[in-house]
Structure 1
Amino acid sequence: MPRLRVLFQHGRSAEAVVLADRLLAHTTDPVVRSEALLSRMAALINLGRRAEFTDALDAAAEAIDADPSPRLYGRLHSLAAIVAHLDDSLERCVTHLVQSSRALNRVVEVDEETACAWHDLAMAYSYIGFHGHALAAMDRSRKIAVAAGISESDYVTPAIRVRLAVWHDHNGDTDACVRVLRDVIDDLTWHRQATKGGADEIRPISLGAYGYAIARLAALGEVSDVPARPLLDGAGQSLRARDLRLLGEVCLAIADRKTSTALALLDQSNVAASTMGGAEPYRLRALAHLSAGQPAEAYLADRRAYRVAGAQTEQLRNLFVDGMAARMDHESMQRTVARYAGEALTDPLTGLPNRRFLEQHVAKLVGEGHQVIIGVCDLDGFKLVNTVHGHLSGDLVLQRIAGVLARVMRRGDFVARYGGDEFVVVLPDTNADRAREIAHRIVGAVDGEDWSALVPGTPVGVTIGWSEVTARGRIAEAFAAADRAMLEMKAS
């Protein structure tokens, strides 16, 4: 594992994947397997091998579930947050960040592995643009490293502060951007001295961040004595290193007033938004036009940069509103669950009653002489969610569905998770016309959820089949009839 960590830290992600595969082929130790799968996942992210993300994330989650550890769960959710961000799912991304932070706050060990886990979370926060949280997590990582007797230089990550600097610039505060970039560049001398082995042992992506800070400051008219290109060239072979080199060349072209070169590089680039924020290419385009004395073009590019920078803020506002609604749904569901007999009768993922309690509840209603209609609700598109986004995302969908069902039911109605992606609603003393009305309400509520914010490109729907329970001895037959009705409805 130390060799794998060294490869990863030095930007040799392709070699890290190969070594992780070798480890996985020759060990059954659950901790080693979990660590190897997480490192492999991180390396795949660095390499941009997106087609492999879902299977790799599912494999890591399955391994960690077999031998749970808050530290491993923290790292898993940090990586899942980055994948969600690359999928343009801000909601899923924020959910994983919260889960990662909560898991790591439960870790009591003070060692290198814990410092690395907090470092991963800091990087995830930074990629997504939560700069305050990123700085706090980075500081936590550094303090743990110091307490464990490890050089803090490995856990001081200039890329986080460089992203904060350009964020200030994207939002109109260029003075703050310049101040932060100066501070970053001033730290380079300390970093070289504090790192055992000197500059050659500084993490490649940190070298790239220092290089980009120098180039970006030059684009704003302030030239440093330290050359940017050697640092950018030492950034490694990850996709982010490639992006940093390209953006750095744009900045240096702007500084040299080579406007056509800067614009040509931007025209042919496809820079990931996580590298320096989605607004960075537009802001650099504005600076290029400005250096060429083209204020109208510079203004248009700057407006575009500002709109892109503000888009995430608007998404977060919407997410806050949706989050409050989800919280209310959850609290309502928890009040319902509190009336039930115990944990053995509750589904741990959704908090809803499970199949065992469902059957007891229906039997009790029928035994008391109530007319009972049951509806089997099967999710449409759920298999594709698991295939495209992975089982962690699938779990979030099931939790969301549980909240929706709990919200739309009437007082006295009952909702349970039957298993897999099937839920059951129980309507006591209800006729068929009323059941159809409730079905329309459920379908409409599920269709009305913003699935594109949670699992982009994979809409989720629901199909419901109904059946009446007429006697205690016919409960199983009623469930089977409702299931058949659901399948017929789905087929039609």
Structure 2
Amino acid sequence: MAVADRTSELARARRLIFEDQLGEAMTVVDRVLAGDQAPHDRVEALTLRLITLINLGKAGDLAAALDAGLAAARQVQDPAQYGELQALAAIVALRAGSLDRCVRALVHGSRALGAVELTDEGTAWGWHNLAMAYSYTGFHGHALAAMEKAREVAVEVGVPTANTDFAAPQIRLRLAVDLDHRGDSEGCQRILRDIVHDLERKQKDDELSRLRPIARGAMGYAVVRLGTLGVVQTGLEAWPLLESAGMSTRAGDLRTLGAVCQAIAERRPIEAVARLETATVAEDSLGGAEIHRLRALAHLGAADYRLAYHADRSAFRVAVAQLDRLRDLFVEGVAALLDHEDMVRRIDFHRGEALTDPLTGLPNRRYLEEHVSKLFKAGGHAVLGVCDLDGFKDVNTVHGHLSGDLVLQRVAGVLNRVMRKGDFVARYGGDEFVVVLPTTSAGEAREISRRIVAAVAAEDWHSLVPGTPVGVTIGWAGLQGEDFGSVAAAFEAADHAMLRAKAPRPRAAS
């Protein structure tokens, strides 16, 4: 396939995604990936494949698709493409329940897109997807700013459909319902009215059909959601808009909740409650609190004030839970920063690139061997420990290698924090770390081992890699010049001790 043909096919695939024709878009992308591609085209194709999988709700395929896209993007080093992939990485992390990774990806994506000097339509779409990621996470102000940036870039590079392609009323919709969840129903109404007025203008100017399907669905939901608050819109039919929202998972969520809203607005609260009992929607579509808030409004319509009160309190509790998680993440982030600063101070004497592991900042295997060699020559003795991570393979399988890198970085900080002054920590390779404890007895080594195991277990792995806890197993060996000719021999002995520690103990006969 010629370069021009590939570029045309990829542009067509992005337009098909825009129009919610996801099956056809995936066919086009797979056809491009099956042939020879220029590096930039391969990144674009993998990005579009990831977007399609996200919209189809294919959660099990996202980590591998993201890994493939990021690996290709690192070779190309295009900040616009990398920024868009980081925006998508934030959505993938949020879907997996990791707010930690989500926020990291948002920051990386924003910085990468902000570094783009020569903008094009791809840059505009990068800002668009970053705005969506911000919106799903609840950073509504950042989302609106990023979408405005997307629109500015689109106008600047001459995209003729900038005003419709980058309208994104779903961002304002999520902001409106979030305000209602937290008790500001007046603020919610103001934004919903603004969306409805925008809908009326686009109907008048015959622009409605040119909007993204999901954007039309968001406008339809704004109409019926106003009805739940007692504001009836005459002359506007919401359901045709909801039906035209497309086939993505979020479009289905809008229709599911839109039917509930319509029942509440039309004073059919029992039907609304019944629909909510069977409703299954993604938390990031309109926020995890939306079902609780609609249940409260339905009970209110049925004059069941006790149940309405309890449902409303649940809505508020769910709405602020993410804010609490962000506060915890801030505290953990500061602690990790302090760990990193301390580690930098302790290893600045061997900061040379050849002696430092680029991922964790720890000394690498080469520096470990030099350190032990010097210890031998000085006639010293020490204890060497091999620290092997438990559950790390599951992290890479379930959450992808980017998440695995974050786990390794955090473990490096934990090890550095636990070590005493004069102890030595290095990354040996893969998920194995080595610690060298000079002039240490076997009892002291056991105490250090206990500290390491406890510190790793105490980390909040659920916020980083939900459902895949990380632990550590340690094997120890004595390290003396007359016994070992090299660090490899000491490592082998400690490695065997580690494997014995990992092995399941035989069960006693009954």
Q: Is the CA contact 2:261–2:294 (under 8 Å) kept in the aligned structure 1? A: yes
Determine the C-alpha separation between the residues in 2 that align with 1:193 and 1:109. 36
Residue aligning to 1:66:
75
Deviation, 1:240, is: 0.3
1 CA distance for matches of 2:115 and 2:138? 24
Q: Tell me the CA shift for residue 116 of structure 1.
A: 0.3
Whether 1:480 aligns to 2:489 is: no
Partner SS, residue 109 of structure 1: coil
Query: Once the 2 structures are TM-superposed, how far is the Cα of residue 341 of structure 1 from its aligned partner?
Result: 4.5
Report whether the alignment pairs 1:162 with 2:176. no
**Of 32, 35, 42, which aligns to 1:33?**
42
- How far did residue 437 of structure 1 move? 0.9
Structural RMSD (CA): 1.5
What is the SS of the residue equivalent to 1:416?
strand
SS in 1 for 2:475: strand
Asked if 1:176 corresponds to 2:176, the answer is no
**Structure 2 match to 1:447:** 457
Q: Describe the superposition over 1:40-89 as per-residue Cα deviations: whole angstroms up to 9, x where unpaired.
A: 11111111111211221222122222322222221222112112111112
Q: 1:407 and 2:417 equivalent?
A: yes
Correspondence for 1:9: 18
Unmatched 5+ residue regions in structure 1? Answer: none
Partners of 1:326 and 1:400 lie apart in 2 by 7
Cα distance in 1 between the residues matched to 2:284 and 2:487: 53
Match for residue 100 of structure 2 among 69, 72, 91: 91
Q: Is 1:391 aligned with 2:405? A: no
**Cα separation, partners in 2 of 1:190 and 1:369, compared to 1, 3 Å:** farther
Match of 1:140 among 137, 144, 149: 149
Cα separation, 1, equivalents of 2:487 and 2:94:
45
Number of equivalenced pairs: 490
Of 293, 314, 318, 2:328 maps to 318
Contact conserved, 1:192 with 1:202, CA < 8 A, in 2? no
Matches within 5 A, 1:404-443: 404-443=414-453
Aligned to 1:309: 319
Q: Deviations over 1:425-482 (max 9, x none)?
A: 1112222221111111100100111111111111110011112221173332112111
Q: Deviation digits for residues 279-308 of structure 1, max 9, x if unmatched?
A: 001101111111222212211111111111
Q: Distance in 2 between matches of 1:424 and 1:193?
A: 69
| Cα deviation code 1:313-353 (max 9, x no counterpart) | 11111111111111111111122232214122111111111
Three-state SS of the structure 1 residue aligned to 2:349 is coil
The equivalent residue for 2:4 is: none
Determine if the alignment matches structure 1 residue 347 to structure 2 residue 357. yes
From 41, 58, 69, the counterpart of 1:49: 58
What's the secondary structure of 1:75's corresponding residue? helix
Q: Secondary structure at the match of 2:433?
A: strand
User: SS at 1:473's partner residue?
Assistant: coil
Corresponding residue of 1:369: 379
TM-score where L is the length of structure 1: 0.96
Partner Cα distance (2:351, 2:126) in 1:
38
Is the contact between residue 416 and residue 425 of structure 1 (CA under 8 Å) also seen in structure 2? yes
Structure 2 distance, partners of 1:362, 1:133, is 50
Q: Distance in 1 between matches of 2:78 and 2:417?
A: 33
Q: Judge conservation of contact 1:125–1:134 (CA < 8 Å) in 2.
A: yes
* 1:407-440 Cα deviation digits (max 9, x unpaired): 1111111111111001111112222221111111
Q: How far did residue 27 of structure 1 move? A: 2.4
Q: TM-score, normalised by structure 2?
A: 0.93
- C-alpha displacement of 1:186: 1.7
Whether the aligned pair in 1 keeps the contact of 2:213 and 2:245 (CA below 8 Å) is yes
Distance 2:486 2:52 in 1: 55
For the residue of structure 2 that corresponds to 1:183, the secondary structure is helix
Does the 8 Å contact 2:387/2:473 carry over to 1? yes
**What residue is the counterpart of 2:301 in the other structure?**
291
